[in-house]
Amino acid sequence: MKHVPLSTWAGACCLTVALLVSAPVTAQDVADFEDWQVAEMRSLVNAVNAARMGQGAVGEEAVQILPSYMKGIDGNTYAPYTLILGPSLVTKPSIVTYVAMTAVGELPDADGLLPVAPFEDAFYSPVSAGAQEIRLNRALQAPGGEYDMYVAIRDSEDGDAPIERIMNPRTGQPETVAFAPRIILKRERITVPDLWNDELQTSTIFLAEQIEPLTEPPTPEELNLFPYTIGTTRIIPKLDSSYAKDGVLGFVFLIYNTGHDDGMPDVTVDYDFHQVTASGEEFYNRTSPQELSNRTLPDIFDVTEGFQLVTGQNIPLASFPAGDYRLEIKVTDKEDSNEISKDLLFTVEEG
């Protein structure tokens, strides 16, 4: 099997200090919104706070939360995520979403007030109601740990919603909110990995639908809309792992906390394909190992200066029999005599 490198990454990422090590995730300030938008957001914040205090029901709505993880800044993990909404959940051309991350096991203080959420964000999205699912991309940033992720969504009434005064369940103070006939509320337990613990690790293995080189680093606003971005390269993620016979298995990931010689790593990445059958697994094939060292990286590459070690593959699947596969990815750090393995599961469909 021929090894097909992702040449876009070699040019765009190995020579660029990625934006993730220089800019935090930023949520829009309340001052950026109209009063009626803030009132709509408050209805979502209150619904989440009530659920945090055990006073409101958290439904199992048709909302999927698909988080991914990369190294962020200041000891945090950067987590781009996708929300997938069933089409029946939307009836208006615009929706507003509120996201909050809370520590597992949080308790109110002596006055009955909840702690401030470690991360929260609110944003508006134009949508089209219909038969197709709706996908929203965003990102959060938090230290490694276990969290409850709350997602609250409502239709926007574009300033026409009736206004009511209610008691804020977190502060115990009255406030003005926009009435919502329906609020979609989802809670999911997620474990954010600590990618700053000096152990050899990788990011999420990102399946790529498309890779787009950018002419300049994205602005914080652009990064909010397209969070799957590394340096000046934007990933359009593939959110399922099924491929046609004439498809290409494209993926990319980052390698963290390698040893180095004056900033230069010495890493080998091996890729072994195993076909999953009814009786177990059978080795299918492997690609040529990838070498990431002074023999293949630019002379200016220096992990101590924030350069990110990025790699991946583009594998044509025409020669793969239809079926299920497990790709074993083994990363060997020769400087520190250490290795880790990751699995990537995918399916090649008939015809």
The C-alpha atoms of residue 194 and residue 153 are separated, in whole angstroms, by 29
Q: Which letter does DSSP use for residue 238 in this model?
A: -
Task: Mention every residue, 6+ apart, whose C-beta is less than 8 A from residue 235.
Answer: 206, 208, 210, 211, 228, 229, 252
- The mean pLDDT values, 10 residues at a time, for the chain of 351 residues are 35 38 56 85 90 77 90 94 88 92 89 88 85 88 95 88 69 72 90 96 96 90 90 92 96 96 96 95 95 95 92 94 97 96 97 73
Fold entry, domain 33-192 = Immunoglobulin-like (2.60.40)
The C-alpha atoms of residue 49 and residue 241 are separated, in whole angstroms, by 35
Say what the pLDDT of residue 7 is: 34
Measured in Å, how far apart are the chain's first and last C-alpha atoms?
21
Same-fold call for 7-22+205-348 versus 33-192: yes
Say what the pLDDT of residue 266 is: 97
- HSE-up of residue 267 (Cα within 13 Å, Cβ side): 26
Say what the pLDDT of residue 88 is: 80
Tell me the residue type at 126: P
Say what the pLDDT of residue 18 is: 44
Say what the pLDDT of residue 231 is: 83
Say what the pLDDT of residue 44 is: 93
Fold entry, domain 7-22+205-348 = Immunoglobulin-like (2.60.40)
Each domain of the chain, given as residue ranges in start order, spans 7-22+205-348, 33-192
Reduce the DSSP state of residue 91 to 3 states and report it. coil
* Total-model pTM: 0.87
